[in-house]
Structure 1
Amino acid sequence: MAKTMAQLPYHYGLKVRIFPSTEQKRLIKRNSDASRFIYNQMNGMNNDLFWLKKVKTPITLVLKRIADLTERLKKPSTAISNIHGWLNHPDFDSLMKANAIKNYKTAWKLFRQVHQAGTPKFHKRGYTQAYQTSCLYSAKVTVLNMENGSVRLTDNHHLQLPKLGHLRFKGLPLKILERANDIRIGTTTVSMDAVGHYFVSMQIGSEYPFVAKQPIVKSKVGIDLNLDNFLTDSNGQVIDNPRYYRMIKGRLAKAQRKLSRRSRRAKNGQRRLSESKNYQRQRLLVAKLQLKIANQRKNFLHHISTDLIKNHDLVVAEELRSKNMLRNHALAMSISDVGWRTLLSMLAYKADLYGRKFLTIDPRNTTQTCSHCGHVMTGKNKLTLADREWTCPSCETFHVRDHNAAKNILAKGLAAL
């Protein structure tokens, strides 16, 4: 019996840009809207059930409604489709419906485990589109791979998706194409961003690793993330902060003001924003500027994280709580611009991918401690953000603030192993 995706030891994510036809774009939008509708129906039924159960008086109508909702939630796909018959239209992917319900249940599961993001919220309609489908294999297929499922590659630049049919895509890494026979496809997401670019994201799995494990280089490094420069490591290497948002924020602010004026004029003229060509043209311009910033930052972070993981056996960083740090209004924009949280998540999954070790430590006193003698600066001597260089009053060792912090981070990491 073939293994499920969860049972496969190695997983990888692929995202490729696709170029759908006009009819395929219509189908993507319909499935995206239906996916959002089903998710919201699930949320609405659960909300109603929660509040109805708060009613203490045993009213017959309330009890009947509770029983009805409880029964519908046992088989939500059938219940929602029976009430909203339009969901049975052949345009809709049945696996899209199943995934929308699964995503709602997963949101509840994450809430119960983490209790941070809150209970599931209603999904609003926006300028982006997305829905999920799954790759199914026929019972007759003995060897599952990328070329014989319901989502499959037909050649190096085309793939087949349920309901959408044949789609051209930009290309896949050669290392994936060469191993298409021993890789299988799992959950697949079809999406459109605010600019109007279409993508397919595929979860793939295999019995064999997707990248070769890196050789041992006997190098360990601690990294200090800061605002003065992006990163300083325990070897003294400094990487400057590119500040992509600050470089373009003037153009972006001007474009957003223009967008706001066009929105106001459309509303004063009693025109819907979706029908206002001037507004939509300016919205697209703003979305492209924001996408440019995001892509520049992501590209920069990918290069930094890959370089760190490939060149060091152990990478140690501070466990930064960006959400708390963003409450400081004086530093919020700079903290958002650097993307620390994204870098840490990249380091975590790339360490697993390349067979390296990455860990985070408590950042407490890493800046205030002398890496030479262990003296901690407290009281009136405590360092402020303005103190970039200092001399230890105990052993008189001169320190560059960020380099010293990186050394302390590495020492804490080694102690934690």
Structure 2
Amino acid sequence: MTFSGYKYLEEVNGVSTHKGYKFRIYPTKEQEVLIAKTLGCARFVFNHFLAKWDETYQASGAGLSYGACSDALPSMKEELSWLKEVDSTALQWSLKHLADGYERLFTKQNGHPRFKSKRNPVQSYTTNIQGRSQNPEMSIVGERLKLPKLKWVRFANSRRVEGRILSATIRRNATGKYFVSLKVEQDIGPLPQTGSSVGVDVGLKHFAILSDRTVYPNDRHFKSLEKKLAREQRKLSRRRLIAMSKKVKLSEAKNYQKQKRKVARIHEKIANKREDFLHKVSTEIVKNHDVIGIETLQVKDMQQNRQLSKAIADVSWSAFFRMLEYKADWYGKQVVKVSRSFASSQLCSGCGHQHKDVKHLGLRKWTCPNCGAHHDRDVNAGLNLKREAERILASSTVGTTGLAWSGFGR
């Protein structure tokens, strides 16, 4: 498909943006101890100032600020000398995360910040890598990564890190594995324009159906391991009861902890398979199309349906749409969100007639009573999303540039 007339996407040079690189790290026993200390200290600082923040707000009606907390941290280190044993920037990042949490509370993006628990199976802290001017060549040598206090840590160097490293987040997950996520500032150039637009209709029978009839199957990652997960969770429950009957703390019950990690590994496998699938599909769509029309879904509301909630959670539409948006932003493509009130499934892509009987999910194929066109429910929805995205983009272009839109070639 080609566009006749105005070229709607400008040619741009590389845009400086933030990108993340995630690697598994293999710390030594001594480094594991230091990571555990840093996690504990960062958690302690966060919880301490969260309590102070709430106390100040209740007393004066105004909370603290990042600056006030940061100024109080040195004297706190003098009183609690063990805070000096860990990376100082990790403690500063705890205060930044706390301030960010309150900012999101005041702008009604999130709820009130919560105290961090040492019993949470996933623990993390953030640090800087030798300041903002650091580059990968100075902090990565072969299969070793230099981190503050930890010094050189072995890691799985699976891809080249390009750009300036701004920060690193060290995470220990529920299975006991360690990972580092590097936040990098780099210039990402746009991908070649393809002259193609597409509508993406997501579903449960198929994960996504494009207006060009490309179908991405729903692999049902959770369902594929659901029986095995249920079996292992029952074992975990039995071992919990055994530990409680013997009056042994769960943290000290070896059989319970061993089974807990086994359950966590199954969850990890499901999450990894799902994330890999979403990345591959979103990247392929962004590479092949310049304009991508997607529907605006209220996923949380849809999950109120108890019959479909598990299946909807498994497909991760929200994560998929988020990937499409930031990858399109990286590579000079355009994602257009179509209003949730737009009846993409009910409209005939041939004549525009709205057939309300298509509201029923069981109706997969239908014939337009107005023009007689035969439709596949999902392909028809994709075509309608594509055309609505083109219309929205055309109207916004005319409104902002004053240029006439000559339309898309069919």
TM-score by length of 2: 0.86
Would the aligned equivalents of 1:219 and 1:312 in 2 still touch at CA under 8 Å? yes
SS of aligned partner of 1:315: strand
Structure 1 residue 286 and structure 2 residue 263: aligned?
yes
What does 1:136-285 correspond to in 2, within 5 Å?
Answer: 136-137=130-131, 144-148=134-138, 152-153=139-140, 155-174=141-160, 176=161, 183-206=163-186, 208-209=187-188, 212-285=189-262
* Correspondence for 1:59: none
SS of aligned partner of 2:85: coil
* Correspondence for 2:49: 42
Distance 2:286 2:256 in 1: 45
SS of aligned partner of 2:359: coil
CA apart distance, 1:98: 0.6
Distance 2:246 2:31 in 1: 34
* Correspondence for 2:114: 121
What does 1:4-403 correspond to in 2, within 5 Å?
Answer: 9-53=16-60, 75-79=68-72, 82-83=75-76, 85-86=79-80, 88-113=82-107, 115-125=108-118, 126-137=120-131, 144-148=134-138, 152-153=139-140, 155-174=141-160, 176=161, 183-206=163-186, 208-209=187-188, 212-364=189-341, 365-378=343-356, 381=357, 383-403=359-379
Question: Aligned AA for 2:23?
Answer: V
Paired residues in the alignment total 376
* Correspondence for 1:416: 392
Distance 1:163 1:337 in 2: 39
TM-score by length of 1: 0.85
Deviation string, structure 1 residues 301-349 (Cα, Å, up to 9, x no partner) = 1111111011111111112221111111111000001111111111111
Distance 1:73 1:110 in 2: 14
Question: Aligned AA for 2:389?
Answer: G
Over the aligned positions, Cα root-mean-square deviation in angstroms equals 2.1
Question: Aligned AA for 2:347?
Answer: T
Structure with the bigger RCO (C-alpha within 8 Å, sep 6+) is: 2
SS of aligned partner of 2:366: strand
SS of aligned partner of 2:92: helix
SS of aligned partner of 1:127: coil
Identical pairs, percent: 34
Unmatched runs of 5 consecutive residues or more in structure 1: 1-7, 55-65
* Correspondence for 1:61: none
SS of aligned partner of 1:17: strand
Would the aligned equivalents of 1:81 and 1:87 in 2 still touch at CA under 8 Å? no
Distance 1:271 1:77 in 2: 41
CA apart distance, 1:401: 0.7
Distance 1:287 1:271 in 2: 22
1:47/1:320 CA distance change after superposition, 3 Å: same
CA apart distance, 1:48: 1.9
Distance 2:312 2:339 in 1: 19
CA apart distance, 1:96: 0.8
Would the aligned equivalents of 2:199 and 2:382 in 1 still touch at CA under 8 Å? yes
CA apart distance, 1:53: 4.2
Distance 1:230 1:352 in 2: 23
SS of aligned partner of 2:157: coil
